[in-house]
Amino acid sequence: MAARVHPNVATPSLGQPPAAAADDEPVTLTVWRKSLLFNCKGFTVFDARGNLVYRVDTYASDSRAEVVLMDAAGRPVLTVRRRKLIGLGSDQCLVYPGEDTRRMPPLCAVKRGGAKSMAHVVPCSGGAGAGGAKSGGGGYEVEGSYLRRCCTVYDERRRAVAEVRPKEAVGSDVFRLVVQPGMEVSLAMGVVLALDQMFGKPSLLRSWSFPSQS
> What amino acid occupies position 102?
R
65 within some domain: yes
Amino acid code (one letter) for 211: P
| Number of separate domains in the chain | 1
| Contact criterion met (CB below 8 Å) for 35 and 43 | yes
How far apart CA 196 and CA 33 sit, in angstroms, is 10
Contact 54, 45 (CB under 8 A): yes
What are φ and ψ of residue 195, in 5° steps? Answer: -60, -40
Pairwise CA distance, residues 186 & 47, whole Å: 12
| Residue 202 domain flag | no
Residue 203 placed within a domain: no
Residue 205 lies in a domain: no
The CATH number of residue 132's host domain is 2.40.160.200
Which pTM was predicted?
0.81
Q: Are 52 and 42 in contact (CB under 8 A)?
A: no
Range(s) of the domain holding residue 153: 2-15+25-197
Q: What is the full per-residue pLDDT of the chain (214 aa) written as tens digits?
A: 343 455 555 444 444 455 444 467 999 999 999 998 888 889 999 999 999 999 999 876 565 678 999 999 999 999 999 887 655 556 789 999 999 878 889 999 999 988 889 999 999 875 554 433 344 457 999 999 999 999 999 999 999 999 999 987 677 899 999 999 989 999 999 999 999 998 987 666 544 343 433 2
Residue 138 inside a domain? The answer is yes
